[in-house]
Amino acid sequence: MKAAPPAAGRRKSLVFLARFLALLVAFYLLVAWNPVNDAVVVPFTSAIARVSGALLGAVGEKVTVAGTEIRSGAFAVQIENGCNGVEAALLFGSAVLAFPASWKRRAAGLAAGFAVIQALNLVRVVSLFWIGAHRPALFDSSHTVIWQSAVVLASVLLFLFWASREPPTGEAGEAAGRGA
């Protein structure tokens, strides 16, 4: 196998970057649109709150969940956009969809990546609630510095891991992969 000339590599990188940015903007606009936010994102976020509440209950926290809020006698948290894992999933999804791989491999990558990001986000929500209830002085830094960075970094690293295991297809291979 012969390495692509540097100009061809730069072109492929620019095409990936353009696709990635276009998809990212389109997805962010879609989820920011009130009908989509109200019909999809808010119910999804409520489900995250319910699962997080159940996990907190399993570790002995006495919590109640109402919509996107988790509350105990000591602490309450409202899960909002930016804290529901949707943005990290959109970042990951945009990169996967922009990457030159077969549609079958992209679909598998999207499904696995979404599951991993949401599992990590559940750990994030549960741990942040616990920190807020038991170590409130650490909540703000844990929320904004540690966990926000960790979830975004995890989505980037997850994409890099997926992409390193996916042999990129050429234009002809990509066209053939669309039916795969």
The pTM for the full model equals 0.85
Check residue 179 and give its pLDDT: 46
Average pLDDT over every residue of 50-65:
97
Q: Over 90: is that where the pLDDT of 1 sits?
A: no
User: pLDDT by residue (tens digit) across 36-46?
Assistant: 999 999 999 99
- Position 135 scores a pLDDT of 96
Rounded-to-integer distance, Cα 94 and Cα 21, Å: 8
The dihedral of CA 106, 102, 23, 40: what is its sign? negative
pLDDT at 175: 44
Span between the terminal Cα atoms of the chain, in Å = 24
Segment 65-106, tens digit of pLDDT: 999 999 999 899 999 998 999 999 999 999 999 999 999 999
Q: Which helix (H) or strand (E) holds 98?
A: helix 86-98
With beta carbons less than 8 A apart as the criterion, state whether 139 and 131 touch.
yes
Q: How far is CA 42 from CA 47, 67, 143, 146, in A?
A: 9, 8, 20, 24
3-class SS letters over 18-63: HHHHHHHHHHHHHHHCHHHHHHHHHHHHHHHHHHHHHHHHHCCCCC
